[in-house]
Amino acid sequence: MISQDDRSFPGSVDREHDDELAFSWHHDIETVPTLIKGSSQSEDERTVGWSQAEWQRITGIDSLGADLPVMRPGCGSMSVDPNLIDTLRARFAGDGLAAREVEFAQAEDPFEAMFERGWTDGLPVVPPTRERVLQMLEGTTRAPDEVVAVAPPDLVELTVEKIAVNAVMAGCRPEYLPWVIAAIEAVCNDTFNMHGLLATTMPVGPVLICNGPGTKAIGMNSGINVFGQGNRANLTIGRAVQLVIRNVGGGRPGEVDRATHGSPSKISFCFAEDEAGSPFRPLSVQRGIDEGVDAITVFAGEGPKCIVDQLARTPEQLIATLADALMGLHHRKLVVGFDVVLVVSPDHSRIFHEAKWSDPEVLEALYAATARPGAELVRGVGGIAEGVPEGFGEIPSLPKFRPDGILLAHAGGGAGLFSSMIGGWVNGEMGSDPVTVEVRP
C-alpha cells in the first residue's frame, strides 16, 4: 500500500509513504485509489478508482470492501497536480532543457538580482525557473532545441527554449508562445533588418499587428485603449520579443541600440486588429495570408500619433483629413522613404462603411491625396532647408508614399472620432520592410 498524503491511512495494512511522489510519477498514477497487479518487473493490469467488483476480482478477496459503497470514481493524484507536475517532470523525467541554471545567493532578492545582471528592460521580470519554462513550452508543439532564427546583433541562434525563457520573464502565458515565436521569425531576417533597427538613431522598434481567430482565443485587445495598458497578451507578447533581442541577441540601449530619443515601441508595441467590426480586409489578408489564418505583421515603427476629425461625414472629407496628417509624417517635404501604418477607428471606419468604400478604394484615395508638386517639396522652399533635391522641382506630382507604403488597419474603441498613424523607419534595402508570417502551434 502506497499513500500520498496521510501517513496514517489506512491503519489496517502495512504501507509506505510516497514522500516525493516518485512512485506515483513513475507508475503514471492519475487517480487515487489505483490498484495495480503485477511484479516489480511488469504490470499485468490495473483498475482506477474504487470498484468493489473489480478490486475483489483482481485481488481474489471476495470480501474485500464489503462494507464500502459499490463504486466511487476516486480523486486526482497529487502527481498530476498542475502546481507540481512541472517540478516532478524536471526531477524524475529529465526536463531536456539546455539552458544553464543560475543560482542566486540565499539572501539575494531574485528580482533585484536580475536587475543587477542587466536582464530586464527597466521593469521587473518574472524569474524563469525550470518549472516555469517547462510550463511555457507546453504552449507549443515545437521541440525546445529547434532553432527558430538567428538573433542580431550578436548573431546567436534562437531556440524555442531560449524564446520560452524570455517569454516567462516578460510575463507571457503558455498560449502566447506561438505568437512570440512567429514574431521572432518575422523580425530576425534581412527583410525586416532588426540589426539596423537597433542601430538607427530614429525612435523606432518592432510594431506587432496580429490577425486571425487566435487573437480572441488568447484574449488580445483590439478595442478600447488598444495601444495602451491593461491587456496581458498585447503587452507581454511585444515585451517578450524585445527581451529576446536584448538578452540573447545583445541589443542593449547605449551599446548597439543608439536611438536618440527612443520610444515606448522599444518596450512593447503589440495589438490585434478589430476584424469583426471592420469594413476592410484584415491587414494579413491584404498582405497575402488566407482569411481566418493566425498571422503577425511586423513593422518598424515609432509611437502612434492621433489624427482628429470630428466633423467629416463623407469619405472624401475624411480622406482629406487623413491625407493632411499623413503628409506631416517625419517631414512634410520628405517623400517615398518612409512607410506608415494608418489605424482607423470604428467611428471613422463607419463613414467608409456607409459609403461602401473597401480598403482598395480608401488606399487609392489616400495615395492620390498625398501626392504634391515637386516645386513645393524642394530644398529651400518656404525657408525650410530640408526637402527633395532641386532636380525634382520639375516633376508635377511626387507621391508621399511608395506603392504599398500605407498599411491600413482597423482597431480602437467604439467611441471617438480619432484615428492614429504609426510612422515607420526608412524603407527598402537601406532600412526595413514589413514582414507578415503565419503563427504555427
pLDDT for res 239: 98
397 shares a domain with 296 = yes
Mean pLDDT for the stretch of residues 315-336? 97
Tell whether 100 is covered by a domain.
no
- Residue 344's alpha-carbon distances to 23, 279, 317, 327, in angstroms, are 59, 10, 15, 16
The domain in which residue 143 lies consists of 116-438
Choose the weakest-confidence range: 21-35, 166-180, 187-201.
21-35
- Residue 323's alpha-carbon distances to 92, 120, 208, 359, in angstroms, are 63, 39, 24, 15
Tell whether 139 is covered by a domain.
yes
Tell whether 203 is covered by a domain.
yes
Q: Please, which pLDDT band fits residue 13 given cuts at 50, 70 and 90? A: confident
Mean pLDDT for the stretch of residues 297-312? 97
Q: Please, which pLDDT band fits residue 101 given cuts at 50, 70 and 90? A: confident
Tell whether 188 is covered by a domain.
yes
CA atoms in the 13 A half-sphere facing the CB of 348: 29
120 shares a domain with 76 = no
Q: How many domains does the chain have?
A: 2
Question: Is the pLDDT assigned to residue 325 strictly greater than 80?
Answer: yes
Q: Which three cell numbers stand for residue 338?
A: 518612409
86 shares a domain with 160 = no
143 shares a domain with 273 = yes
Residue type, 38: G
Q: Answer yes or no: pTM beyond 0.75.
A: yes
Q: Please, which pLDDT band fits residue 312 given cuts at 50, 70 and 90? A: very high
82 shares a domain with 153 = no
Tell whether 422 is covered by a domain.
yes
pLDDT for res 100: 86
Closest CA to 32 of 69, 93, 78, 67: 78
Q: Please, which pLDDT band fits residue 394 given cuts at 50, 70 and 90? A: very high
**To which residue does cell 508570417 refer?**
437
Tell whether 111 is covered by a domain.
no
289 shares a domain with 171 = yes
81 shares a domain with 136 = no
362 shares a domain with 295 = yes
138 shares a domain with 6 = no
Question: Is the pLDDT assigned to residue 94 strictly greater than 70?
Answer: no
123 shares a domain with 89 = no
Tell whether 99 is covered by a domain.
no
Mean pLDDT for the stretch of residues 26-32? 90
